[in-house]
Amino acid sequence: MKRRQVIIGWLFVLPFVLVVFFFLVLPLIYAGYLSSQADSLVGGQHFVGLTNYIDTFKDPLFLEGLKRVAIYAAISIPIMISVSLTAALTIDVIQTRLARVFRLIAFMPYAVPGVVAALMWGFLYSQQFGPIYWVAKRLGYPNLDMFAPNVFIYSISGIAFWAWTGYNMIVLYSALQGISREIYEAAIVDGASQKQIAWRIKIPAIKGAIVLTVLFSLIGSMQLFTEPRILSRYTNAVTLGYTPNIYAFNLAFNQSQFNYSAAVSFALGLIVLVVSYGFLLRSRRMADK
């Protein structure tokens, strides 16, 4: 009986295991193998061990892209998460119809494909017929160019902000709704203000959800690809190694350097892993204090 149970249990997981094996494990092993080989245009393929990885971490294009996404994350995530959190705290206590509509509308960009969002914002940022430039011009900034190389990264942040603030807000809002009322009661009896309740009770209570939204945004930022790639025609900013993911893509699919590309994308994955766990450990340690 016991053994039969195990067999049946495995039968249920089998399709899942097969999918995981063929579409996750095997490709990663294959990519790992590729990254240990070198293949030059003249000379053919041969084993090089970790050379590709050593090259990656010395490659100025890779490091430059990495630095760019790090700065991008450092600027855009705090802004986005604090706006999301403020909005979530607000709609948590204000339950008017307007708040419900706001909640719904803010989440809507989640249903818009990244490609379509990038295309739309590409038009909205236009100097010829975009509303942003129209406003800027009337405010006295006729030279605003959202596609100028030093501005473009903020334009990308703008798209990400539009796309993900509502989503993060809903995640945080759902967590707020999950706090049980007993926790508040003492505070209310003590006559604490909404602000105090938010700071002292609510935010600590949904810390896990906040950490999660930051973590997901962090991972997403470091893997930045679609928006700069789609809008690359509009700007001089998007270079060969603009972001590590764009670099890996260009290496493989434009320069036929599949081996080096595998190493670059693995190196990126490794850095994302280290940063994510570093962040988790840090936030856990801060919670312990």
Give the tokens for residue 50: 């970790």
- Taking alpha carbons only, the member of 213, 215, 246 closest to residue 228 is 246
Contacts to other proteins from residues 156-175, by CB under 8 A = 162, 166-167, 170-172, 174-175
Judged by beta carbon, residue 82 or residue 194, the one nearer other proteins is: 194
Is 139 a binder of other proteins (CB under 8 A)?
no
Binding string, 223-262, against other proteins, x = CB under 8 A?
x-xx---x--xxxxx-xx---xx--xxx-xxxxx-x--xx
CB nearer to other proteins: pick between 54 and 273: 273
* CA atoms 277, 278, 284, 285: torsion sign: positive
Distance from C-alpha of 65 to C-alpha of 241, rounded to nearest angstrom: 6
Q: Read off the tokens for 263.
A: 């190493």
Task: Tell me, residue by residue from 183 to 202, as one string, x for binding to other proteins by CB under 8 A and - for no binding.
Answer: -xx--x-----x--x-----
Q: If binding is defined by CB under 8 A, does position 45 make contact with other proteins? A: no
39 Cβ contact partners less than 8 Å away, ≥ 6 residues apart:
45, 257, 258, 259
Residues 158/121, Cβ–Cβ less than 8 Å: yes
Does 108 bind other proteins (CB under 8 A)? Our answer is yes
List binders of other proteins among 88-107 (CB under 8 A).
90, 92-96, 98-99, 101-102, 104-107
Q: Are 234 and 287 in contact (CB under 8 A)?
A: no
Instruction: Kindly state whether residue 150 participates in binding other proteins, applying the rule CB under 8 A.
Output: yes
130 touches other proteins (CB under 8 A) = yes
For the chain, give the number of residues.
289
Q: Pick one of 45, 71, 134, 282: the residue that binds other proteins (CB under 8 A).
A: 134
Chain Cα centroid distance, residue 227: 12
Is residue 141 part of the contact set for other proteins (CB under 8 A)? no
